[in-house]
Amino acid sequence: MTHIEFIYDSVLLKGLILKRERFYIEVQLISPFEAWENYTMISGRCRMTPNHLLTERGDETIRRLLIESYKKFKILYESFDRISTDYTNYKAELISVNEISDIEIRSNIKKKLEDWFFNALFTSSITGVIATNSDRAHIFELLENNVIERDLRRYRRTKDPIYEYLRIV
């Protein structure tokens, strides 16, 4: 694995190049925010280009991917409380959608809710950032861990045995 460092927006970005091939690059942002992976590939007819990812185009692509990862995490970091509240509301909507008996309609609504959540989070026309499917899984994991930690902190403060029972059920 190769390390890369550069300054973007007065911030030192550090990354790891996890995989670099002629038509595929995978990088991971390690500083200032940890463990955000991003990748890109050249597919189809575009593979005929002499500017594959082992050339200067690959160096530019690595920088672009790390900048995108930084922007995504920065958006999360700067407004995490609001996003956590939105995530709690999103989960409440999912629970109410489960009451719909038609599986196809229910899955379509769940997909639309997920799209709404991420479109509200990363308004691409304003931020220039779009959450990919792999980003979505990572963001959901971060938010779910935050909800669990918040609930544990709340329980420890109250030490309510009924609340503990409801968390288990």
Residue the block writes with tokens 């489960």: 98
pTM of the model: 0.70
d(CA 45, CA 146): 43
Q: What pLDDT was estimated at residue 105?
A: 94
Q: What pLDDT was estimated at residue 145?
A: 86
**The two three-digit tokens of residue 68, written as one number:** 């995108």
pLDDT tens by residue, the chain, 169 residues: 788 888 898 889 988 888 888 888 888 888 887 767 777 777 777 777 777 788 888 889 889 988 888 888 888 888 888 888 888 899 999 999 989 999 999 999 999 999 988 888 777 666 667 777 778 888 888 888 888 887 777 666 666 666 555 555 4
d(CA 53, CA 32): 25
Q: What pLDDT was estimated at residue 73?
A: 84
